[in-house]
Structure 1
């Protein structure tokens, strides 16, 4: 954790990570502190706070030294990682593994391994694998292809858990030497095109060598797969370099997996405009999320993920995405809309599991974040045909007097009709009139005086009133994207404590908060009287709490309004929980869009009437 940049360690957080008691962590931290001192790194205990802190962050050289020292001792794995390593060991072996063997491999007790077996069984079902129990131990039974897909998902999840660019060196490879591993990593960097992923290719190649040398090979699939010539050439060079048979089935599997997981692109840009289903999908997402436009680069990137999604279905490639949980927690509304849009535009046979949709959701999340950031300020153009110097002066003066403006470019008049998507400005500041401008504009003298400043202020104010805030245009589903129906209910009570209990219970049933969250809410709302309306009629309940697992919202509609001293007249109460200062921000941005749309606000306040 120190090598990865952490400077502070809370005992409670560390307990949850390693699934051990506070006493164990306390003893371990004392040992770690003493060990770090030998490397000139000082970790001190903040007495009474349950926190250990570094005096200062080690520099890059020191962190590398610590990393190398840790590798000599081996890697201590958190509970989630141990679970994945148990699966890895079971998949790599074709014979039954006893509890003792598995416990020795992952350095835990036999009881700990036994407790994980139910999770192992459930996880393996995704890949059509069966956990068989017998007198000699445990074995995962299934086809070689399904085992490979499961192993690749395990490696991807470990890569994410370890924050490692390459998990390969930390895993057991009985048929591969360290020298071969290093050579393969170097060759992958050199051979693959710029759009390819050397790390993803290396995982596939290492697994290929290990399994083939263990006597487990893949045959060609039922479907005819067209493999690009450049990939065939790369694969054959690898095979010659490591004295392996090319094997059509092996090469086909590698090509299909890398293509289906967006890790293999050729140099040509995809032609998304001819794919009517894709264009329809984009229009649906645009309407649902209130995104007003996509430029060519956005669409090309999304189209690559779109093609990978369907290619995975065609080739039967299944995977568990390592970032699924985080994406669903941060952007539940985006995952929701992607699912709904795919369902409404595709036959049922094309709809796959949520993991396969995560890359698409992440693409939209990237665009959504950029749009949210851009929406914080006006994106403007400056047009000043009078000369470069005057244009620069006007630009700098605008930035000085109006921090809410971001000058995207000093544009020529010819640019007025050549821009698409988010390259479009919110308005133009020009030194000349623009009678045929498709965008709002204001004329300003390059030398900004007090009168010019007032003119700009009035223009911005008028523009804001004209534009309003109607970004989301679809049905009530937009609210479900943020708050699922399971966390929305109607309450026939005006008792504040009953309202709080019900709203928190909705969060607790989805494991967003723990039981003690209610006490934290009571302390803030009742004892400190910290309750307010974020829009007329909607009270907002939130607090700082250490009993939150992830960010989320619940909504309580009231049959009778909650009235408090003429200060509140609330028809609904919105509850928010967040584990820190940042986890809730993407959802809060989406909530802002909902609350700045009059129709959506009415649906929130009067859900029972509207639904």
Structure 2
């Protein structure tokens, strides 16, 4: 049986496209290389039983070789049976304890929990000391009574939302894939074990079977995959709680005539099939719980006002004027609108960076949590780590793009001619290493001049050149090892010179949601404002036939500036310009600065071409 770290190493080896080095694994798991080597002995034995070969080569690393079918079967084994044969760590034990308590109306003694988890009573007693802290953000209390045991106290909706959060956020990608494959295709049923006791699991299977019977191609247009998974979990929780006599405040039956939209009709039909089989009533509040409308607190909220209040609250707490960044309001408003337009339906979500954000930005995380409690008024519903951390991503992005005073390491790329594949190199290095900016590329003859002019911190060169500035010699197209060497130097320079801060994951850009209509409106208005200002300041310098082209150019320029897609500004040129053009450039720069549209020198040079 593999331990937790060995299991993760085996999964990494199966999923890796390139060989993995022991040094990299030791860094990933924060243990010594000796420990990793010991773990690998067990991992290799496990792969041997699966008839999969593990290869290793000095200076290259380790990798496995097998066909796709064997790889999928091994992953299924690791993420299924092998994962649940492990002795659970404290975090997993806490979650299983909480699931057991959430499903019970009565007190549960420590001995019963110890037997369920196959650990000692003392271990359970130590775990229970951590439960109160674990559930505190959810406004749930742990009640301890001598000779009776433990019980969770809270509102029914709060208890259900916490239970669905525990189940939903612990699903692996493989488990989600299995569920969706069973629903959408004629797949055999595999044993399921994801953080559910026997009662939950049996009800889940019934709900899944009825969903499969109702599922058509039209269903995929009504619900996203994550919505269906969440609905499955909610209907499972609903029937289990109903079976124990716990309803959502009342026994009023649903009036199906009130609902005519396709989404509501599908949910009602599905619920009716499940509840009929289990001989349970179809109650109004149970339908509202499934669809998310039970949290009516969001219905009367003006999200325009609330978004402003959130920004102002966090600004006051952080001492940063986030209100000056219009992009923050647009993205945050769109985010909240999408998440709250159906009550809590879209709130239960997964953010892979939640733990990193909460750990590295605890004050910001806490301030956003407080702001949501005050202005959204749904503390137990919206206080998911994932929900708060996604909001935090908007503020962090705003800080990085608008308010950050941290300067990136300025790199110079030296190649044979100063051209060629330099653009490709810039994109690759800056994408992989977020704290460096390739400010210029040049030939070996121009190094000294550019180092002084561009205030270069690091030289990346295909030649072994001499310089007082740190030099990294790389291949013509940097290899993976070259990129890692650059990363280490950049990290060292950042820590020494720039008060280095934790950077957001590169993928966070795809998590931020923009309101396209608002963005387009902002770009159009800003473009017109700039165009009007320029033709006013330069009435005699712009020919009539060029005005239309200038207006189009300005609109595209604002668009490039907004999405950070401006012209390359690191091409070195010593072409002289006249004194008049120098003054015109400064005037254009002043106009754009005053109107809060940051542009590069190359954009200014392009605008200059429209003037006489």
State the TM-score, normalizing by the size of structure 1: 0.49
More helix by share: 2
State the TM-score, normalizing by the size of structure 2: 0.49
More strand by share: 1
